């Protein structure tokens, strides 16, 4: 399958099967995240694999949809090791941590899809609540979570998955 086919076929899964994701696949997904580009290759991403029943219970206690997934990833960045740009006049001491963590998460989600493991991006949470629930170090800033697992028999993309704005609306050639 080409990358474009993979990208077009991947959708946000909301109907997970209960079976666990094999550790070999989790390892490949995590390895894919390690290959992701980050600003100046500082690699500030900090990934928390949420798979034990206790950790999943904590994740489910946070006010975020989790779709009963058997596995979740919490993607953070280390605020002490992220690249900063003190010369940016728009953002005071611009920090690349959120963008770096997002690139890593996206790469992991595509690798998961390649392995037959579906995922859904989750961001409807309070970062402080997540940090407190998982007792994160103060410099680990939660960016997003994604629920992962195998699709259930009733799995299908939402109707809006295939809707795309015309490229003219989102791209400007200079």
Neighbours of 108 (CB within 10 A): 28
Each residue's pLDDT expressed in tens, for the chain with a length of 174 residues: 899 999 999 999 999 999 999 999 999 999 999 999 999 999 999 999 999 999 999 999 997 778 899 999 999 999 999 999 988 888 888 999 999 999 999 999 999 999 999 999 999 899 999 999 999 999 999 999 999 999 999 999 998 888 999 999 999 999
pTM: 0.93
Q: Residue 116 is encoded by which pair of tokens?
A: 């037959």
Chosen CATH of 3-152 out of 3.40.50.970, 3.40.109.10, 3.20.20.70, 1.10.10.10: 3.40.109.10
- In whole angstroms, what is the distance from residue 109 CA to residue 9 CA? 12
Contacts of 121 (CB under 8 A, 6+ apart): 12, 105, 109, 144, 146
Inter-residue contact 100 to 42 (CB < 8 Å):
yes
Domain borders along the chain are 3-152
- In whole angstroms, what is the distance from residue 104 CA to residue 108 CA? 6
* 69: three-class secondary structure by DSSP: coil
Q: Which residue has the tokens 């666990």?
A: 20
Contacts of 146 (CB under 8 A, 6+ apart): 72, 73, 75, 105, 108, 109, 119, 120, 121, 122
* 46: three-class secondary structure by DSSP: strand
């Amino acid at each position: 399958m080409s990358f474009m086919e993979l990208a077009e076929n991947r959708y946000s899964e909301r109907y997970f099967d209960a079976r666990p994701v094999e550790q070999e696949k989790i390892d490949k997904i995590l390895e894919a995240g390690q290959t992701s580009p980050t600003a100046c290759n500082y690699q500030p991403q900090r990934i928390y694999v949420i798979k034990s029943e206790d950790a999943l219970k904590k994740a489910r206690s946070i006010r975020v949809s989790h779709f009963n997934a058997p596995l979740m990833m919490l993607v953070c960045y280390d605020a002490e090791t992220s690249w900063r740009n003190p010369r940016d006049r728009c953002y005071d001491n611009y920090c690349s941590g959120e963008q770096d963590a997002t690139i890593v998460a996206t790469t992991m989600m595509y690798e998961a899809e390649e392995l037959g493991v579906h995922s859904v991006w989750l961001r409807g949470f309070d970062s402080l609540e997540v940090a407190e629930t998982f007792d994160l170090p103060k410099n680990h800033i939660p960016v997003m979570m994604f629920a992962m697992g195998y699709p259930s028999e009733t799995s299908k993309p939402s109707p809006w998955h295939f809707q795309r704005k015309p490229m003219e609306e989102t791209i400007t050639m200079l």
